[in-house]
Structure formats: C-alpha cells, structure tokens
Structure 1
C-alpha cells in the first residue's frame, strides 16, 4: 500500500475462508454444544459446556464491511492490505468524504477445553487476531493513493475533516476458567473469565484532516491546500521492511513480538429452569442435557492493551505533519514512495516527529444474549444477540467494533445444529445468513445475501474441531 503501511499487518484480516470463531460467529455463539468456541463470546460458557474435552484444530472467522468497494475473502496472499483487498471498479460512484471500511479476523489456533467436573472447567486458547477500521476517508483519493493514479482527466476535490485509520494485529495466549455458582431446581448461574497474555505483532494509526484537489491524470500534481496528519507505526523503523507480505497461514502462526501486554474477558450466564424443561433425573447427566427455558448472558470482551516501546532498537516514532499553505505533491513520487514518505520529504510541510512509547487498547465490547426454547423437548430455539462497541473511532490508538443486533432461529441436537441468523448493522442494513454444525465441522455466514448481491457486509466462519461430549446417561 502506498501509504507505506506494513503490508504484512493487514494480510491478517482479509483472509481465506478456511478456518475461526470469535464474537461474530453469528448463530453459533449460543449453540449449547459449541464448546471452546462459546468461551470466546462469553468465558462463562465453558462451565457445563456439554463437553468433557473439546479440542480445536484450526478455525477462522472474518467480518468486514465497507461502503466503498467489496472486501475480498479469497486472495489473501495477493491482497495484503485493506484497500488492495477491495474491488473499487464497481463502487467509484459511491465516493465521498465519509467513506468507511471495517475488517477483523480471528484465527483460533490449536486450543483445548477440559471439564474437570460438573462445576469447574478450564481451557487454553491460542488466537491470532487482526483489526482495521477506516472512517471518514475519500474513497476515490484513497484508491488512487493505494493503487496508483490512473491516466484520466476527471477533476477531483476533497475535504476530509476527520479521517482515521487504526490497524493492529496480535496473538493471545488465554487461560479460561468457568465455575457454576448456583445449580438449584429452577435457577442456574455460572461465571467465567479468560486471562490473556498479549503478543503485539504491530499497530499503525493514521489520522488528521486535509483538503485539496487533483486530476486523475498521472502527470499532474496532488494539491493539498491545508491540513494536519499524524502517523504512528510500530512495525518497523525501516520503510523497506514495510512491503513484505506473508501467506495467511504463516501470518497466523507468526508470534513475532514487537510489543506485549495483558488483557481478559469476563462474563456470566443465568438459566431459568422450570419444571417442564428441567429433565434431569436420577440417571441423567446434567452436564449433557439442556434444561432451561430461558438463558440470559452478558460479557465484556477484550479488556486490556498492548504497549510498544522500541522498533529495531529505536523508540516508537510519531510523525506529525502540518500543512498551512497550498502544497504540490508529485503523483509519480506518491506512486513510488508512498503518502507518508512523500510528506516527510516535502520541505514546504512542517514536520515535528516525536519518539517514545505507544499503547494500543483492544477493541472492547459488550456482548448480551437471550436464548429461548420455543417448543419444550423439540430442540427449537430462538436467540437474540447484541454486540455493543465500548470504544469509538474518535478514541486514539484503538479499534472499534460494529454494533450488531442478531436474531437467530436454530435447531439443535448433540450431533447436528442449523442456524438462520438475521443481522442488523446501522451502517449497512439487514442481512440474512445460514450455518450448521455437524460432528467436527462448523461453517456458516451471517450475510449470505452479500455473496450474491455485493452487499456492504461480508462474513464467513469455518471450524475444525474434536468434540468429546458428556454422556447423556450415567
């Protein structure tokens, strides 16, 4: 990408639909047989999870949305950053000064969940995660900066008052613990938490405001009339290292440490178990059967931050640019050196770099769920899930989640489950999805209609695992 962003960073979140589950595995999050996957949405789900052991092989989840371009799921090694992974050819007419693009991926690496007894459960979770969000950017300008200016004569003006991009990738080593606090005839309560050691692969933030004009022809200059730009990169102090790319699988297992920190998730689950659904008898194993009429859950996810202190034995560098008068930037230079390098090498632009430490917070969120069995003993459920971002695009050095409301009817048994999620996102509208679980395989999407209509929201998940369930009868 010609901003001189680290391309190997953004290869994480424009992935291949082969492998994870995370907070966006719509429909599957509240399957009572989701095992270790459920603990990523609510760490309390691990207690009495219906599994004696649950071993994850490799799982993958990708959620992306944009009003300018469509996000590519397939060609991860060939599309190493957010803009190069977007197809702009059919979306030029949607360009404005408030375009947005959000993408996040979550790879659950080999992990395990073990139920010690009906009250206590522990788990070890290894995850590779990446987030990136772009807000208030001019789609046509950013397309030209990232993919090169085309030989056209169309005149463009831009006035971007508050643009922001934050991208970060990290690894998590998480220790999960879930415990049952109350298990009476009618009421059941369990709580849980996951303590995480965070390994920061790297992070980038670009924000500011600029206005100017340009023609699409390659021979003219880009004119910036005024503006401010700040840029912080914790990947590498050497710009020549920023063009490296990594295949998707290699990136998922890349534990390169440029920063570190601690974090965690906390959650609780309450179940109302009236007599008509509480089917536990003398010979039944309560850890293996569903006994509730209504389940209420809540969790706070991604508490914590990653601190970056040095890059290539140098302090983290924050670049600040202040443009006070019309300044010409050569398009050839922009194409060859990138946006940030061109700003640094333009003498008319005031630059005030700073060195020090940088702390990037995780994209904190609130996850609330209601699960209701429609027909007693018939295995038909309906679930309402609400994901609320607890960070915003105005917060420095962090990402923000999409605010999502999902209603999911599902059919669920020990061996097989099917889901039909209906998702609403305030920027993109309503989407319909489908998914299923059968034995060791789970696959689905919350936005199947986008696969056929080039919708703004894209989502897919896939998982391979080894579930060792509790016996229903003792």
Structure 2
C-alpha cells in the first residue's frame, strides 16, 4: 500500500502537475495588483503601490494540456473523486487488467490524434514570498516547489502506445518512427531573489529593468529524446527496435518514505531578465490615506496610474546538474527486441531502463547495439520569451494581451514549455477584481478562463468550460492563493 501511494506521488510530480509555469502565466499573474506573482512572468514587474510590500504565504497552481487525448464533457467533480484514487491504491490485483485498460475503464479516455502531439503539465506551490518597494528599487524573495512536464512532436502511433499499450490492434504488425519526439519532466525546489530598478522616469513615462536569480535543487528528472528510431510491433506484442538512436536519462530513487522521494539529487541555477515600459495617465501619483492624523498608526497608500504598459522578458535561462542516483543512457543505431514495454513504462523509470538494456543489449543473435552510459547529466530549463501588454480602457476596466513563446537555447534541449497567446478583460480595484482570459494553446486550441480576487484571496482557472462540463476535457487548470499588502509609509 505504501509503495503504491509513493508511486502516485511520483506520478503526480511528473504527470499530474503548468509552463507551464504559474497557471499559463495569464489571469491573476498579469493584473496590476499581482505584486509578487507578477515577477513570475516578468522580473521587471513590481507592486502597484509605489510604497508597498506584498507578502504571499501560499499560492498553488496546476495545469495539464494536450491535443491527442480527451475525456467526454463532464464536471470536474466526476473526474476527480475518491473512487478514482482508491482504484489505484487498493491492494487487490488487477485480475489480468493492464494499467492502460484500467485508465480507459475509469476515465473513458478518447483519442483525437494529431501529427505532432503535445503534452504539458505543471505544478507550482509557492511558499512564503515577498516583494517590497524602496524608492526606485524593488526587492523580492520567492520560494517554491515546482514540477513540470513537456512533450512535443509526439507521433500518433506513440500516443496510441501510451493509451492502449502494445496489445492494441492499431499497432500490431505496424512499423513506425518516433518522429524525433522530445520529452522531459522535472521536479525541484526554487529559492529566488528578485531585483528591479526604475531606470528612467519622465512626466509621461516610466521604465524598469529587472532580474531574478534562482537557486535550484533537483529532486527528480526524466529525459527522453529520439534522434531517429523505428519501432515494429510483432503479433506477440513484443517490440522490435531497428536503427534506433535515442537518449534516456533519469534521476530517481527507490523511495520507501516521502522523505526519500524529496531527496536532493543535484543543484543548478537559472535567471530571468525583463524590461517594462509604461505610459502614465497622470503626472503625479495617486495618494490615499487610511487612519490619518494618528501618530505612527496611519498609512499613506501611493500608486501611479497608467494608460498602458508593455513588458518583455526572457525566463528560465539555466540548468540543474543531476549527479546523485542518476543514470544517463545513449543508444546509437541500436537493434533489439523488448517485451512488455508498455507495462514497464507505467512501472517506473527503473523498469523502463531495464527493458531498454535487456532489449537492446541482451537480445539473442542481434548485434549492432551501441550503448553509452554515464552517471550524471544536465537538465536544462524550458527557456521562453514572454510579452505582455496591458491597456487601461477607463476607470477600473482593463484589456491585456499576453504571449509566451518557447525559445530553447539548443535543439538538443528536450524540456519545452507551451506556446500561448492570451487576451483578457478584467475589472480591477485595490480590494477586488474579476478577469475573463481567452487563451490559445500551441496556436491551435482556444480555452476560456475566469479568475477573481477578493481582498487577499485569489482563485481562478483558464479552462472554465472544461471544469463545469460544457466541453470535452483536453486539459485542466486551477489555481488559488493568498497575498497581503502593507504600506511602508506611516501617516502623521
């Protein structure tokens, strides 16, 4: 029982986890009052209050996106329920049922296969974090646990393999290529320091430059990258590898406790850099005084109103070096036969590694395998360019545009983030706000969201129709958190 629970924790870290970081990085993160959350999309962002400090004790976000599989339209409560979890944690035997068949029975998973499939998932849990303004300077410390998965170039036959397994009649007797698919998953902790500076201010404009430095501790990692592999599925469901070149790396341990799962297996660094330009709607900042004329007890809240703001940033330039409990395998023009690879895939990284080694090196009468093994590797972060534009229409109404384009620094980096375009309308005040974002994922799949903030509490989703059962479910997204603001200037 304990092993099954730990296995589900590991699966949750890698598969059930957003880009895509921070719930698509739209919605709440792009509002004027996002404060400490704003630096997750652009390190040049800061608090709306020019004399304020934001304190965020907790923020949680998760998302799953794909274009190959979907669930029939149903409310999210019918997908995530106790019976589903108990089916994967109970001690009873499968009775001949494969894990692929169990998933299909429980979720009624359907296929809508594309030539180049994608799967993205994210989990971000921000712990105690803060951001404060002191004159032209802004300082922040952000702590977080993050897990993310990115797969691009997934061929239809491999998607069928993931869902149906090798017993699928769609695969038996078929030969297909892996389409140079790239996949990566990683779980890590992040301690970040943010600094931004008001580089120029005139009567009409305002400019900031910011940078965030991250210290990363790697917990788990998986990398699979195909350089040209051909699979043939035999009638006995064994899988023949021909002229196969691919990379398979992982860093994990056979955990007995949750503490084992979270053991550090490597360290690394990354940084973000950003710039923002704003056109003021007023020359002077707006001032609001609370509890005036109370010696040492009042607060003056000061903020600058803008007609529009523009920002651009490059995020997650960096890496983690995994060197503990780590395996890195390179196969070059290899041949072999693997049996039960679909079952080994869901049994975990160790079973899959054994299947590759025995299949490509231990196949009787088959020669030509070239296997290179090392005990460390570098997992590069999913670098991307973010662009933001926010227009103040009138009074408390705003319209915003957001874009995120993955920008891998090398074609050999398998970890990727999704491409996202988003338009949003929102009604925003210091005390509350409501937003309605429309996002386009990978330039092909539109989703509608809803978010709101009341005082310190914020909650939302970018996939509202899927959550309430009005649309086929190709992904889910949900986030919530708490953020408090205090003013730094006392009244007199």
TM-score class, shorter-chain normalisation, is 0.7 to 0.9
Q: Deviations over 1:239-266 (max 9, x none)?
A: xx17x795xxx89xx7632111221112
From 295, 298, 320, the equivalent of 2:331 is: 320
Conservation of the 8 A alpha-carbon contact between 1:263 and 1:302: yes
Cα 1:361/1:23, change in 2 over 3 Å: farther
Three-state SS of the structure 2 residue aligned to 1:101 is strand
Give the drift of 1:67: 2.0
1:205 aligns with 2:223: yes
From 393, 417, 439, the equivalent of 1:374 is: 393
Conservation of the 8 A alpha-carbon contact between 2:21 and 2:122: no
| Structure 2 counterpart of 1:263 | 270
Give the drift of 1:51: 6.6
| Structure 2 counterpart of 1:389 | 406
Conservation of the 8 A alpha-carbon contact between 2:125 and 2:144: yes
Cα 1:162/1:361, change in 2 over 3 Å: same
From 120, 123, 128, the equivalent of 2:137 is: 120
| Structure 2 counterpart of 1:341 | 354
| Structure 2 counterpart of 1:3 | none
Conservation of the 8 A alpha-carbon contact between 2:116 and 2:152: yes
Q: Deviations over 1:111-142 (max 9, x none)?
A: 12233x34222111111112212233356655
Conservation of the 8 A alpha-carbon contact between 2:421 and 2:439: yes
Conservation of the 8 A alpha-carbon contact between 2:280 and 2:304: no
| Structure 2 counterpart of 1:412 | 428
| Structure 2 counterpart of 1:181 | 199
Q: Structure 2 unaligned runs (5+)?
A: 1-6, 90-99, 291-298
Cα 1:437/1:96, change in 2 over 3 Å: closer
Distance in 1, matches of 2:152 and 2:173, equals 20
Conservation of the 8 A alpha-carbon contact between 1:109 and 1:126: yes
Q: Deviations over 1:400-431 (max 9, x none)?
A: 21111111111110010110101112354221
| Structure 2 counterpart of 1:11 | 12
Distance in 2, matches of 1:151 and 1:98, equals 20
Paired residue total: 443
Give the drift of 1:444: 0.9
Conservation of the 8 A alpha-carbon contact between 1:128 and 1:171: yes
Distance in 2, matches of 1:202 and 1:406, equals 31
Give the drift of 1:433: 0.9
Three-state SS of the structure 2 residue aligned to 1:344 is helix
More helix by share: 2
Q: Give the TM-score of the pair, scaled to structure 2.
A: 0.77
Distance in 2, matches of 1:189 and 1:390, equals 25
| Structure 1 counterpart of 2:320 | 306
Three-state SS of the structure 2 residue aligned to 1:46 is coil
Three-state SS of the structure 1 residue aligned to 2:356 is helix
Q: Deviations over 1:139-182 (max 9, x none)?
A: 66556568865587973623323122211122111111222233
Give the drift of 1:10: 4.3
Give the drift of 1:333: 9.3
From 417, 440, 449, the equivalent of 2:456 is: 440
Three-state SS of the structure 2 residue aligned to 1:399 is coil
| Structure 2 counterpart of 1:272 | 279
From 143, 147, 154, the equivalent of 1:137 is: 154
Q: Give the TM-score of the pair, scaled to structure 1.
A: 0.80
Three-state SS of the structure 2 residue aligned to 1:161 is coil
Conservation of the 8 A alpha-carbon contact between 2:52 and 2:486: yes
Q: Structure 1 unaligned runs (5+)?
A: 1-5
Conservation of the 8 A alpha-carbon contact between 1:166 and 1:397: no
Tell me how large the CA RMSD over aligned residues is: 3.9
| Structure 1 counterpart of 2:295 | none
* Residue correspondence of structure 1 range 45-60 to structure 2 within 5 A: 45-46=45-46, 49=49, 52-60=52-60
Three-state SS of the structure 1 residue aligned to 2:29 is coil
Give the drift of 1:467: 2.9
Could you tell which deviates more after superposition, 359-368 or 348-357?
348-357
Cα 1:332/1:48, change in 2 over 3 Å: closer
Give the drift of 1:22: 2.3
1:44 aligns with 2:35: no
| Structure 1 counterpart of 2:340 | 331
| Structure 1 counterpart of 2:128 | 110
Conservation of the 8 A alpha-carbon contact between 2:57 and 2:483: yes
| Structure 2 counterpart of 1:26 | 26
